[in-house]
Amino acid sequence: QKEVEQDPGPLSVPEGAIVSLNCTYSNSAFQYFMWYRQYSRKGPELLMYTYSSGNKEDGRFTAQVDKSSKYISLFIRDSQPSDSATYLCAMKIARGSTLGRLYFGRGTQLTVWP
Amino acid sequence: DTAVSQTPKYLVTQMGNDKSIKCEQNLGHDTMYWYKQDSKKFLKIMFSYNNKELIINETVPNRFSPKSPDKAHLNLHINSLELGDSAVYFCASSLSGTQSTDTQYFGPGTRLTVL
């Protein structure tokens, strides 16, 4: 079992839809959670960063963390065709020799059609 | 200005050859990383260096050898290339690598195809 599980999709939604992307994890040492967006043939870019349970909002994006369930989500409101990309969740532990190392999910490919 | 740059962008080569990928960051970061992304988009860390010192060395064949001439550069040399080495290789950097709030910035990737 991989430490970070993410449904690869693909996910296809119409413009304006609310998108929900999810990851689950098994390692309770993970304390920091990120969402990266990767456009086709580009490098991943950080979208959201959070470390506490609850919600964090940034424009149309909301990151949600539930540490008790080991479950994180990314919501995209009013989705746009420009949101079409692969979304990768990533996590890291709080301390120890592997501090700084990111553990990635497999990525969910999202297409928003006009 | 490109923050993290990699060369070449595309690399097509024959099995058994030796090749290198170069990475440079102009962010003043102390830590640099190499990741491999397979055809299913799974991104996995290979190495990380902090101030030219090897910090993370995942279970990677010893045909892969990272070299950091200074903290702004981290190159990846691959000997005796195999078909399974075909992937996209990403370089990344972060300010320190040890702070919990560190963000990793990724380069554009090098698409390696081994024939």
Q: Which residues of B touch A42 (CB under 8 A)?
A: 108-109
Q: Hey, CA dihedral for A111, B3, B6, B10, is it positive or negative?
A: positive
Q: How far is CA A52 from the centre of its chain?
A: 15
Q: How far apart are CA B87 and CA B48, in angstroms?
A: 18
pLDDT in tens, B13-64: 999 999 999 999 999 999 999 999 988 888 999 988 888 888 878 878 899 9
Please give the residue of chain B at the shortest CA–CA distance from A30: B100
Q: Which residues of B touch A52 (CB under 8 A)?
A: none
Comparing CB atoms, the residue among A36, A43, A98 nearest residue B107 is A43
pLDDT in tens, A32-60: 999 999 999 999 999 999 988 889 999 99
Residue corresponding to tokens 């988009």? B41
Residue B65: Cβ within 10 Å count: 14
Q: Do B56 and A8 touch (CB under 8 A)?
A: no
Let me know: does A107 contact A88? Beta carbons within 8 Å: yes
